[in-house]
Amino acid sequence: MANRLTPLVAGNWKMNGLRADLAQVAAIRDAVAAGAVAGAEILVCPPATLLAAAAQLCAGTPVAIGGQDCSPDAYGAHTGDISAEMLKDAGASYVIVGHSERRIDHGESDARVAAKAAAALRAGLKVILCVGETEAERTAGQAEARVAAQLEQSLPPEQAAAGRLAVAYEPVWAIGTGVTPSPRDVVAMHGFLRQRLKTLLTDGEVVRLLYGGSVKPGNAAELLRSPDVNGALVGGASLKAAEFLAIAKAVSQH
């Protein structure tokens, strides 16, 4: 049975954006409020410095704001870290955990990612959990095994996750490179992830599966049209409202 889940189109600004760029958030908000992307849920994840201001701009509108990471701890002596409670307090409703840039740059293990996801759910946030293989793993024929292991080991506890979990498939080699898997490969991996999710979670059928990695206005419709692709996690192309909205339109119309 094919899923017909409301697609989620999420922008991950990564370490980009100064206060002047809040104009992009306002432009996204205005277009969404005017009905430009009816049929898709829109989320912007700015850097932590802009989160409260972005949330204020979007308060009372359908545009959600999210964090890009959170601590597994609620508070305490963890210099530089931000807790899920703080994100929530600043106006976030989502947080991304387990992005490959965090796994690689900060040595985050699957267990730590699972603890972050659990902390986010405890704080009342929704979670986008990222998984994805490296180029070497794909070349070695280990893409599915790698992604399955990451999924299993970084999932938060099932009860907490119900209705509040999305999984993003982001092949590391497709992030920021302009190279994407073929639409066929995306369909195959998402189908595989759907089966794994159904085995692991009672509501695995309705967990949204996002694709991320060099999504652009020109390839969004083709990459995202499979029933098991329930949205996108967009990096570089989410920094400009016009590009992000073009992707969201392509997703909402398929």
- Catalytic residues, which ones? 99, 170
* Among the listed residues 209, 221, 211, 214, the one whose alpha carbon sits nearest the alpha carbon of residue 252: 221
Percent of the chain that is helix, strand, coil (3-state, to 5): 45, 15, 40
Q: In this chain, which stretch among 58-66, 110-118, 152-160, 212-220 interacts with ligand 13P, using CB under 6 A?
A: 212-220
Number of residues engaging ligand 13P in binding (CB under 6 A): 14
> What string marks each residue from 176 to 195 as x (binds ligand 13P by CB under 6 A) or -?
x-------------------
Q: Which of residues 24, 154, 235, 244 is near ligand 13P by CB under 6 A?
A: 235
Distance CA 62, CA 43 (A): 9
Q: How far is the CB of 239 from ligand 13P (least distance, A)?
A: 9
- Judged by beta carbon, residue 39 or residue 176, the one nearer ligand 13P is 176
Q: Running DSSP on this structure, what letter comes out for residue 170?
A: -
Residues in 128-167 at the binding interface with ligand 13P, rule: CB under 6 A: none
> Which residue's CB is nearer to ligand 13P, number 119 or number 233?
233
Among 147, 212, 230, 248, binds ligand 13P (CB under 6 A): 212
Nearer to ligand 13P, 99 or 196 (CB): 99
Phi, psi for 232 (deg, rounded to 5): -140, 150
32 contact partners, CB below 8 Å, separation of at least 6: 42, 61, 62, 63, 248
13 is annotated as contributing to ligand binding: yes
Q: Of the two residues 12 and 83, which places its CB atom closer to ligand 13P in the complex? A: 12
Within the chain, strands assigned E span 8-12, 41-45, 64-67, 94-97, 126-131, 165-169, 208-212, 231-234
DSSP state of 68: S
Segment near ligand 13P (CB under 6 A); pick from 15-23, 140-148, 151-159, 213-221: 213-221
**235 annotated to a ligand binding site:** yes
State the burial class of residue 122 (Cβ atoms within 10 Å of its Cβ: 0-12, 13-18, 19+): middle
Distance CA 78, CA 73 (A): 9
Q: Which residues bind ligand 13P (CB under 6 A)?
A: 12, 99, 170, 175-176, 212-215, 233-237
Binding site, annotated residues: 12-14, 176, 214, 235-236
